[in-house]
Structure formats: C-alpha cells, structure tokens
Structure 1
Amino acid sequence: MKFLSLKLWALIGICLSAPLAFSAEKPNVIFILVDDMGYSDLGCYGSEIKTPNLDKLAANGIRYTATHNTSKCYTSRACLLSGMYYQRLDREMTKVANLGEVIRPTGYRTLWSGKNHNGGKPWERGFDRFYGLMGGASNHFNPGGKARPGEPEPAGSGGKWIIDDKEVKGYVPEDKNWYSTDAMTDAALGWLKEYESEEKPFFLYLAYTAPHYPLHAKAEDMAKYEGVYDVGYDVIRNARYKRQLEMGMFDEATTPLSAVDQKKPWAELSEQEKKDEILRMQIYAGMIDCIDQNIGRVTSYLESVGKLDNTLIMFASDNGACASTDKPAKNQTGPIGSINSYECTDLSWANVSNTPFRFYKLNSHEGGILTPMIASWPKGIDQKNVFNRENIHFIDIMPTLMDLAGATYPGEAKNVALKKPDGVSLVPSFTGEKINRNVPIFYEYGSGKAVQEGNMKLVGVKEWELYDLSKDRSETKNLINEQPEVAKSLADKWNSWYTGITGLNYEEEKERKKKAKKAGSKEKAEKKKKLRKSAAL
C-alpha cells in the first residue's frame, strides 16, 4: 500500500485548520520519549540515578503512575503518533493522519529529532524537520558501521540516518566525541534557535535511542556511579522500593514488591561476574544521567528566551526495561561499554529497573507495559508535585495534543476513509479532573495479551491470569479461580476487540505464526546444511 499523496495531506490540512484560528496562546509542546527505560530508573520514581532536571519537571507538574505503552518499541511509537492501537495500522501508518499532520495545519512548527522505527518519511508526513535514525537501534558512539581513523570498527551494522530529507548512508560522524543523545539534542536546539523569532508555537518530538542497548556511556557520566552498584541487585532494588513508598507513590499494602527474578543471586556470582554486572549498570546509569543533562540543556534554553512557562513538556519510555541477554553484533570484540561492544543489562538488572513490578519489555504484565510519565507546563498545569493514578495509554497522547492545538480529525479525504483515534484527551488531568474514558484498554504483542476495565486486569501468555489492581498493582495474587465470571467477561471482551480490530481469530493466527516460524527455521537449517556441504567439497 502506498502513502497517501502530498496533495491529499494538503487537503487534510485545510480540513484540520478550519475549526480554530491560529492563536499565539497555544502552548509549545515537547514530547520526550526514551528507549527501553524501566519504571523506577528516574530519581523522581525512586532511583539512585541522578536526574535533577526531570525531577524538577515532576516537582512542578504531574507524575502519572499508571501510564501504559505496548511493551515494544515501534508499536508504542505507532500508538503515540496515531492515537490508535497499533493493531489497526500497517508499519508505515497509511490511511491515518499522524500527529504532525494533524497539528501542523493549526499553526505549529513540527520538529522531530531521534528515532523513527515506524517506516515512512517523517518529512513527508507532517514534520517540517527530521534528524535521526530510521531503524530500531544503533551504536551510540559511531552509528555508521565503519571505523574512524585510529578507532576500532564499531559494533553493529550501520543504520540508516536522515538529516532533514537527505539519507546519509553509513553515517560516520567526524567528531570522535559524537554521542547519540547529545547529537539529537544538538539538532533540536539548532531548530529551536533557528525558529526562535517565529510567533507560531512549536511541537518537538525528541525521541532518544538511549538507554536501549548497546551499553554505551561517556566516561564522565559513568564516573559518577563508581562504586554505587557494588552492593548488588537486591540492595539497589530494595532501596528504590523504599523511596517509592516514602514519596507516596505506592502503598505497601496495595503495591507489594514483586518476587526477585535473577539469572543468579548476587552472592553466587564470581568476582569477575560481579565486576561485569557492576560495569553494566554503571554504564546504564550514565546513559540515563546523560539524557537528563540534555533535557536540562533544552529547558535552560527555553527559560533563557522566555518560552519555558508556555511549553508543555511530557516525558515517557516506550516500554519496560529490557531483559534481553547480550546481542550478537558485527565486530563485537571489545570490552563492555567500548565502541566495539554491543551488550545489554539483561534480566537481573531489568528486575531492578522495573521495581516494584513483574516482567519486562515484550510482556503484557505491568513491568512490560508501564512507563513513568511526567507532564510539566507552568502556564497551563497549576498542580505541583502531584501523582495522577488514572489508567492511561499511549493512544491518549495524540488526542491530548489535538485538544491543546484545537485540531479536529478528518473523517475522510478524497473519498479515502481515515481511521479515528482510539484514545482520549488527558487535558482534564492537567487541572485535576478525571479523564473521560468509558471503555476498557487492550494490549497484545507477541505472546502477551491483556485487557483492563476499571481495577480488574486480565493478562496472559499461555493461560489467563486475573488481578485486582486496586489491591494488587504488582500482580502477585492471581484471582482467576476466585472470580471466573469476571475473567470470562474480560476474556470475551478481549477476543471481541482483537477480532474486530484485526479481522482475525487470535488462536488461529497464533498457530499460523507458529507454523510459519517453524517452517522458516527449517528452511534456514536446510540452507546452512547445503552451505556446509558446499564448503566441504
């Protein structure tokens, strides 16, 4: 399927901009999305990692404690940019208007720096400027796949990078101090300064690739955490949970600390294994520290030009912490954290990052789909340092920004039907009011699936599990046998939703994918066998 034409989107723009004339009082908006960061990895969510700039935004705004993504990078981004469940979309999001296309006609300058991962061309889909990675991950020191003079070849293949509408093949930055998080901020600040004198508001989507693997941090950021993680997983996890309780984020009775999940207990690790684990988390902390520093660069600039008060800044992560083991990559020959390494924090530290919840990225339990989310807007959010505990999903972001921009969603353009957002606006929460949601929220990715209606959540991989999140946010007491009628009702709603939104039967589709995967594995094995035979001749 091809993208809708540029002429068609121009007509959509006329439709969108008609209801509300441009107003200088519309807020600037910055949505900051980080990659694979766990729920408790910010200071204001319980972490020992230094995040003073994000902590300040939280102190001057709202911390949402129950914001959900999809548990996976590109699907969460699809929800954010479309306002729809990703199951309704193709990878390039055709037959929908995305966030840039909806709010630019209302008078916004639209800017996108960082990761794409959803296909398509942002500069042809509503964004005035784009800088960043088109794929899912890349080397944070040198993304080009080729060595700079005097350096080893970077681990990982070179990803496709775009600077505005120009593809840079094998993007090898000349500056040996180049670092992905800094570079993405540099591009964003460059645009903000370029358009500083414009009277129109701006929307900046700042989508960092950190702290997604590979584990790469600058030496000065790592140095701040020397010795911090020598105490091991359990001490750090327990300290985070204690801080969450002390700040009033959770109550121990309703949100207990979930069970420990580790590859091997800390006490059973060899001295070398401990050194490696300490280094992994030290690097990971440095990556998050650097993100916070760069957010500080942005807020400091806005304050210096008098724009901070009327700028809504929102922050979130695209999924829970990643429990993957080290990823094999081209030229992965260096020590942990070096330019020619491509390693992960893995399961044991991910269990810490997602404190107090269970499971991880790719799972529909809370540890996979929960993210910290902060909203700060001095001129528009009069609440300070408050928790919002409503159930929220990434499908709500686009309706929220449409609400602020005064945009309406077109039903069709040139007889092409356009799907409307599934989410609801979060703007009422800015003034302490309830958001207007009267339907369940659904989840499905990989082998995980879930539905939440009110406090009751049905979640499963092979078998359904039922939890009352008002009494058990950590999903530790399965009620499936105690409340079978509730489980059946929710299961029926989930199946109806999945079939209605995809046109498929879930179990049949699951079996089809399983057979296709098995056939693919068999085909690969046969090819390898033939290659071995050819090599032996």
Structure 2
Amino acid sequence: TPPNILIILVDDMGYSDIGCYGGEIRTPNIDRLAANGMKFAQMYNTAKCYPTRACLQTGVYFQRTNRDFSNTATLGEVLRPAGYHTLWSGKHHARFNPVTRGYDRYYGMIGGAENHFNPGSKAAPGQRAPASKNDGNRWSLDGQEVKDFIPEDPTFYDTDAFTDRALAWLSEYQKTEKPFLLYLAYTAPHWPLQAWPEDIAKYKGVYDGGYEAVRQARYERQIKLGLVDPKTSPLPPMEYGRKSGNKWSELSPEERRLEAIRMEIYAAMVDRVDQNIGRVLQRLEDQGKLDNTLIFFLADNGACAESPKVDNVDPKAPPGSVASFVSYGQNWASVGNTPLRKWKQDSFEGGIATPLVVHWPVGIKPQSGWNRDPVHLIDLMPTVLAVSGAKYPGVSKEAKIPPPDGVSLLPALAGQPIARPGPLFFQFGRGSAIRDGQWKLVRQGATWELYDLATDRTETRDLAAKRPELVRQMDAAWLTWWKDCTGKAWTGTLPKERGDE
C-alpha cells in the first residue's frame, strides 16, 4: 500500500535547536520520531526560505526555476494523478496559489513572513495593532483568497491555526481509501519572535547563563548523542555580531535580561511547533495511519542572524506579544547552529545544514546512530516517486520540465549507501558551494575556500592554498552546473533577488 506522506518544514530554525540534535528546547514529539526512525547528520537546504521551498516541492535546483516554480512539476502534480489527496497548510513564499499547481487544498500565507498572532494590517478584535514589516498578508483560507487577513478569532496563532486546518482535513478524508500528501509548512520560529505567555514561561531563566554557556552545553550534548566528534568537528570560536558584538560577560544586567528574553520567546516558538506536531501524530495514531505515514521533518535554512527594523511597533508591548517585533540576532543564531559556522543566507555549513528526521514504521527499522551521507532537498521528490509509484512530471502543464536533480533516499532508509552520481551544488546571494564526497568548496564573495569535511566538518582549516588543482577542478564543475541550470555563463554578477522578508 502506498504510504501517506507528511512533510513538516520549519522556518529559520538552527541545526542544534531540537533535543535530538543537542538542544535544550523541549521537543519530545520530534525526538520520538527520531528515536523510532532515522536522523541525518548532513542534510542540506539552500540557505534561504523561498529557494528551499521550490527545491523541496519540485526536486530540481532553484537555479533551474524561480520563486513561482516555472518549468517544474510539484509534489502535488505528481501525487494527485497517482491517487493521493494533496494538502498544504502553512507558508508558501511565492505569488501563485498552490491549488493551481496540483494541490486539492491550501490554507496559509502566500508571502514570506508575518505577525504570528495577526497577519493583517489592522488590530483584530480585542487586540493591539499588530507589529509588522508590511501592510498585511495575502492568505488563502482553503478556497477563499484574502489580500489582508485579519483573524476574528482572539486565540489565533499561526502555528496552531496551520495544525487545526491539517487536523480538519485528516478528519474529513479519514474514511477514504486514498492516501494523502500533507505538507505542513510552519512559519515559526521565523521573526517576529512571538509566542504564547505560557510557553515563554517554561524557559524563564534557561538562557540567563548567556550565549557561550548555552552553546558549550549544546556542543557537549551533541558529542554524547554521537552527532559530533570533537576531533573532526571542533567547536569554532564564537562569531559575535558587529552590532551586538559583546560577549555575555560584557553586557549590562539589563542587556542580559533583554537578550535572555529573546531566546526564551524563540524557544517557546519551537516548543509550540513540537506540541502541534504531537497533535498531528496523535490524530494519525487514533486513525490507525501513523505506521504507514512517511514523515520528514526539516528546516528551510540555518539560524537567522538578521535584525530587521520595523516602524509600526509598540515599544511598551510585552516582548513576544502581537504588538512587539523582535528578532534574536547573530549571537543567538551562532548558538542555534552549534557547532557549525555562519547563518541563513551563507553557503557555509551553518547556512545550509538542517536536521532531517525521517519516520516510517512500515518502511524503516529504528536506527540509533546517524546517517552521515550528504543529502539534499532535491532528494525528496525522487524518494516520494519511489515510495508512491507516481509518474513524473505528473499533470504539470509547465514547459521544458527537467528531470529531478536528486536521488531517492530509499537505500538510506534501508541502511544502504546512496548512489549519487555527482556533487551537490549551492548558490544564494553572495554564497556558493560545491560538495563532492568529503570535499567542500565554498565562498561568501569572490574567494573560494576548501574544506575536508571528513576531518573538519566545522570548516576551520582552509586547504585552498594547499590543493590549488582540486580548487580548479571543483570551480570548473560549479561553473558547468551553473550554465547547465541557467543557460548562461557565470559572470560573478548576482542574480536579482526580490527581498520581501
């Protein structure tokens, strides 16, 4: 019987935030999936929200398409003709509505970032005006599109609302014989940092020890979990932000209090995601469907070092509430990506590495160790095709659809090596990289750096000067890939990216 497929994507979460990857945040439901399934140590995304979402949905590198998924087939377009209900709840980050591209149902934010308590431009009943960066968000309410969605429910919080809608669909389709694809794309824990007070209260005092102490504790837990070998993944020096560059010991008591609160709210957001995943797992268990549901849990990019500025914010509002708008900055982002370097938007490991937890009792025996094969978002489409029997490109009406760039992860799920025919490639903004076996060539700007990730996963020893021939070979491979994807030679001029976050 083809499995149900549940893909859970979180937004701007760091490599080490969840419990099973070394974090102190309480994530018992994700940890349970990991304990009864598989954990991947070297799963890659694209370092940024919208290219990740396009890759995940289409199985091709973002450089072959664009943020509106042109010249591709989506998971919905291949699975619907194979007899699947196709359901999508949560963030999209494009301009088109997913119901036009293979999805039976879509509920969520079509744009890139929002106020979690009120995505709209005006106050909801009984609330303060929402702090935000834009003038309201275009939403699809499962059939009805709204340009400026202002919830009428005073208990609205998007993480809960996305789950509520998913649970309603699971109940609606419970009696049908058809399997389902459910893509659950939470906007948490992306800024603005906002959470329910009772969730924030759980983390009171947890971060009072400061960045360095929390980072060190995470690193030590990662060693105990077997995720990290201190010989091949030494903890690099902390990279402090230019604006918030002080060590914890150099902050005033008031600055420490405010910094700790930001991380408490962030932790509460991740905690709430885990609670909601627990609700979905319970529903699937109650329906007898959990055992034959293939679940993927991952994040769209590394932890986010951005500190966005907004005008319409109430400085007196309690941090984490609808009228406040805070992010947690580079120092906590460095903690989030422990032990890796750099952050969202960078092609170093801290920008492109994500946890990947896979759970499928019918198809996977629980594996206590770590799968260390380099894997990528482009591998999800081939894996879904393999388990579902669906045909590619399905009912996509797009022109010039290339074959998927990835490979099926089914061998890995069976404990076998993955037969990838070539390297993995990366480019976003000023960052580029190529991962070929143990070697990674990476740059953030013009100059390539070379790392042997088998002995230096945390990218601390640049070997480019010692291996110039290897640098030339890998650079040539990257340039060939770029031209193959885009049809144009790389000029060093960055592609124009529409900044809407």
Give the alignment's TM-score, normalised by structure 2: 0.95
Corresponding residue number in structure 2 for 1:313: 295
Q: What is the CA-CA distance between 1:271 and the residue it aligns to?
A: 1.3
Contact 1:66-1:371 within 8 A present in 2 as well: yes
Q: CA RMSD in A?
A: 1.8
Q: Give the direction of change, closer, same or farther, for the CA distance of 1:248–1:413 in structure 2 (3 Å limit).
A: closer
- What's the counterpart of residue 507 of structure 1? 491
How far apart are the structure 1 equivalents of 2:396 and 2:308?
Answer: 47
Residue of structure 2 equivalent to 1:388: 371
Provide closer, same or farther for how the CA distance between residues 384 and 44 of structure 1 changes in structure 2, counting only shifts above 3 A. same
Q: How far 1:92 moved relative to its partner?
A: 1.4
Any residues of structure 2 matched to 1:19-58 within 5 Å, and which? 25-58=1-34
Instruction: Show the 5 A alignment for 1:343-354.
Output: 343-354=326-337
Q: Residues 180-239 of structure 1: CA distance to partner in whole angstroms, max 9, x if unpaired?
A: 100000000000000000111111000000000000010111111011001001110000
Shift in Å at residue 131 of structure 1? Answer: 0.2
Deviation string 1:61-98 (CA, Å, 9 cap, x unpaired) is 10001000000000000000010000110221122211
Q: How does 1:139-218 map to 2 (within 5 A)?
A: 139-156=115-132, 157-218=135-196
Identity of aligned residues (%): 51
Pair 1:89-2:62 in alignment = no
Match of 2:247 in 1: 265
- For 1:412 and 1:110, the matched residues in 2 are separated by 13
Residues 120-519 of structure 1 aligned to structure 2 (within 5 Å): 120-156=96-132, 157-262=135-240, 263-333=245-315, 334-410=317-393, 416-462=399-445, 463-510=447-494
User: Following TM superposition, by how much is the alpha carbon of 1:329 offset from its aligned partner in structure 2, in angstroms?
Assistant: 4.3
What letter corresponds to residue 13 of structure 2 in structure 1?
Answer: M
**2:99 and 2:106 in contact (8 A); partners too:** yes
My pick for the range that moved more, 407-416 or 80-89, is 407-416
Aligned residues of 1:360 and 1:368 also touching (Cα < 8 A): yes
Distance 2:403 2:314 in 1: 45
In 2, the alpha carbon distance for the partners of 1:383 and 1:251 equals 22
| SS of match in other structure, 2:385 | helix
SS at match of 1:228: coil
For each residue in 1:400-449, what CA deviation from the matched residue of structure 2 results, as whole angstroms up to 9, or x when unmatched?
Answer: 11111112224998894322111111111111011120101100000000
Residues 345-369 of structure 1 show CA distances to partners (whole Å, capped at 9, x for unaligned) of: 1000000000000000000000000
Larger deviation, residues 212-221 vs 329-338: 329-338
Cα deviation digits, residues 96-128 of structure 1 (max 9, x gap): 211100111111111000000122221111111
More deviation in 383-392 or 371-380? 383-392
Q: Which has the larger radius of gyration?
A: 1
Change (3 A) 1:228 1:498: same
CA contact (8 A) 1:36 1:321 kept: yes
CA shift at 1:496, angstroms?
1.5
Aligned residues of 1:258 and 1:356 also touching (Cα < 8 A):
yes
Distance 1:140 1:416 in 2: 37
Partner amino acid for 2:380? I
Q: Deviations over 1:442-465 (max 9, x none)?
A: 000000000011100000023110
Contact 2:193/2:326, CA 8 A, preserved across alignment: yes
- Tell me if the contact between 1:95 and 1:417 (Cα under 8 Å) persists in the aligned partners: yes
Distance in 2, matches of 1:312 and 1:508, equals: 41
Question: Does 125-134 or 322-331 show the bigger shift?
Answer: 322-331
Distance (whole Å) between structure 2 residues aligned to residue 431 and residue 139 of structure 1: 41
CA contact (8 A) 2:82 2:391 kept: no
Alignment-mate amino acid for residue 478 of structure 1 = D
Local SS of the residue matching 1:506: coil
Give CA deviations for 1:281-312 in whole Å, capped at 9, x if unaligned.
00000000000000000001111111111111
- The equivalent residue for 1:114 is 90
1:455–1:468 Cα contact (<8 Å) kept: yes
Unaligned runs of 5+ in 1: 1-24, 518-537
Change in 2 beyond 3 A, CA 1:43/1:107: same
1:12 counterpart residue number? none
Cα 1:498–1:332 change in 2 (3 A) is farther
The alignment covers a number of residue pairs equal to 491
Residue deviations 1:247-279 (CA, integer Å, cap 9, x gap)? 111111001112201221001111111111000
* Residue 30 to residue 455, structure 1, CA distance change in 2 (3 Å): same
Whole-angstrom CA distance in 2 between matches of 1:358 and 1:214 = 23
Q: 2-side partners of 1:350 and 1:415: how far apart? A: 38
Q: Structure 1: how far apart are the matches of 2:224 and 2:71?
A: 47
CA contact (8 A) 1:412 1:418 kept: no
TM-score of the two chains, using structure 1 as the length reference? 0.89
Offset of 1:149 from its aligned partner? Answer: 3.5
Per-residue CA shift, 1:289-339, capped at 9, x if unaligned? 000000000001111111111111110000000001143243354343221
Q: Give, in whole Å, the separation in 1 of the partners of 2:57 and 2:263.
A: 31
Opposite residue 468 of structure 1, the aligned amino acid is D
Q: 1:508 to 1:460 in 2, by over 3 A?
A: closer
AA in 2 matched with 1:321? A
Contact kept? 1:123, 1:164, Cα under 8 Å: no
Structure 2 residue identity aligned to 1:239: A
Structure (1 or 2) with the greater helix fraction = 1
CA contact (8 A) 1:143 1:172 kept: yes
> In 1, distance between residues paired with 2:398 and 2:342?
45
